[in-house]
């Protein structure tokens, strides 16, 4: 959902709430007429309300509510307050029925946004941690290991700090689906690195792969419009 559409939906909720609040004070208007009257009043106070399809969205929501109340889906043309009361007598709250889908949609949208942003934040934090540990791993290797081991450690540290970090897989993930990626071609085994804090590196590699997998899963669950809004560059890259 684009920002423009979200604004329209939010204003449609505001419009229906305003119409509901004003209902007892307005006589001689149909229910749709009350909504239209409040829309025009809102436009006069804030011309930005003229943008988008706020009125149409609110009326569509009320029409959907009427469809739940009346089998023919036709909103009665009588006085708005009387129509609302007649629906309540039949056990239908028209404004609640109209507002519920809009509110639920707004909540669902924010939940998806929050989940994606949270997953992205977790992944970025773990990447920073892996970079810090890779630096420490290289420093320890230079101080404690043989020249040949040092060279290999420097290569591994460079990989874990850079964009190709996902080529390195931990022994914890060696037999999982994550290891089936064609990029995961290097297994980091702490047993091969005595004298350095290799267990911390292995844990960080595992955490990064799992966090990236979660982030991609959340991204793939989004609609195309939401993907474009939250990640204009496309699918998250390692």
- Domain limit, last residue, from 57, 92, 127: 92
pLDDT band of residue 7 (cuts 50, 70, 90) is confident
Q: Do 85 and 124 share a domain, yes or no?
A: no
- DSSP assignment of 60-76 equals HHHHHHHHHH-TT-PPP
pLDDT tens digits along 162-203: 999 999 999 888 777 565 466 778 999 999 998 898 999 999
The answer as to whether 99 is a domain residue is: no
Query: Which residues, 6 or more positions from 23, have their beta carbon under 8 angstroms from its beta carbon?
Result: 34, 80, 81, 84
Whether residue 159 contacts residue 140, with contact meaning beta carbons closer than 8 Å, is answered with: no
Whether residue 98 contacts residue 62, with contact meaning beta carbons closer than 8 Å, is answered with: yes
What confidence score (pLDDT) does residue 158 get?
Answer: 96
- Domain limit, last residue, from 61, 92, 123: 92
Q: Do 222 and 126 share a domain, yes or no?
A: yes
- DSSP assignment of 189-227 equals -GGG-TTS-HHHHHHHHHHHHHHHHHHHHHHHTS-HHHH
Number of domains in the chain: 2
The answer as to whether 238 is a domain residue is: no
Could you give the C-alpha distances from 198 to 89, 133, 189, in angstroms and in order?
71, 9, 8
The answer as to whether 130 is a domain residue is: yes
Q: Do 160 and 215 share a domain, yes or no?
A: yes
Q: Do 85 and 125 share a domain, yes or no?
A: no
Q: Do 74 and 121 share a domain, yes or no?
A: no
What confidence score (pLDDT) does residue 181 get?
Answer: 64
Q: Do 194 and 124 share a domain, yes or no?
A: yes
- Domain limit, last residue, from 92, 123, 145: 92
Q: Do 141 and 73 share a domain, yes or no?
A: no
Q: Do 181 and 151 share a domain, yes or no?
A: yes
The answer as to whether 29 is a domain residue is: yes
The answer as to whether 179 is a domain residue is: yes
Which whole number is the average pLDDT over 35-44? 90
How far is the C-alpha of 85 from the C-alpha of 119, rounded, in Å? 47
What is the span of the domain harbouring residue 42? Answer: 3-92
The answer as to whether 211 is a domain residue is: yes
Q: Do 81 and 119 share a domain, yes or no?
A: no
The answer as to whether 28 is a domain residue is: yes
pLDDT tens digits along 82-111: 999 999 999 999 999 999 888 887 777 778
Q: Do 34 and 137 share a domain, yes or no?
A: no
Q: Do 134 and 190 share a domain, yes or no?
A: yes
The answer as to whether 101 is a domain residue is: no
Q: Do 122 and 223 share a domain, yes or no?
A: yes
pLDDT band of residue 52 (cuts 50, 70, 90) is low
């Amino acid at each position: 959902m684009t920002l423009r559409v979200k604004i329209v939906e939010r204003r449609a909720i505001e419009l229906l709430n305003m119409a509901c609040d004003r209902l007892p004070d307005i006589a001689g208007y149909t229910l749709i007429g009350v909504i239209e009257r409040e829309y025009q009043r809102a436009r006069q106070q804030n011309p930005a309300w003229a943008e988008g399809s706020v009125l149409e969205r609110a009326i569509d929501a009320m029409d959907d509510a009427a469809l739940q109340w009346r089998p023919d889906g036709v909103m009665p043309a009588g006085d708005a307050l009387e129509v609302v009361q007649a629906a309540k007598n039949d056990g239908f709250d028209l404004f609640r029925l109209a507002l519920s889908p809009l509110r639920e949609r707004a909540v669902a949208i924010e939940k998806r946004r929050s989940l994606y942003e949270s997953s992205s934040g977790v992944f970025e934090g773990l990447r920073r941690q892996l970079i810090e540990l890779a630096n420490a791993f290289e420093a320890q290797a230079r101080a404690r290991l043989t020249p040949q081991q040092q060279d290999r450690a420097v290569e591994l540290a460079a990989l874990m700090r850079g964009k190709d970090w996902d080529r390195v897989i931990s022994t914890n993930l060696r037999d999982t689906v994550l290891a089936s990626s064609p990029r995961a071609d290097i297994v980091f085994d702490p047993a091969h690195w005595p004298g350095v804090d290799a267990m911390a590196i292995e844990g960080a590699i595992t955490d990064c792969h799992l966090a990236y997998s979660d982030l991609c899963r959340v991204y793939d669950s989004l609609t195309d419009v939401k993907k474009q809004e939250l990640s204009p560059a496309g699918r998250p890259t390692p």
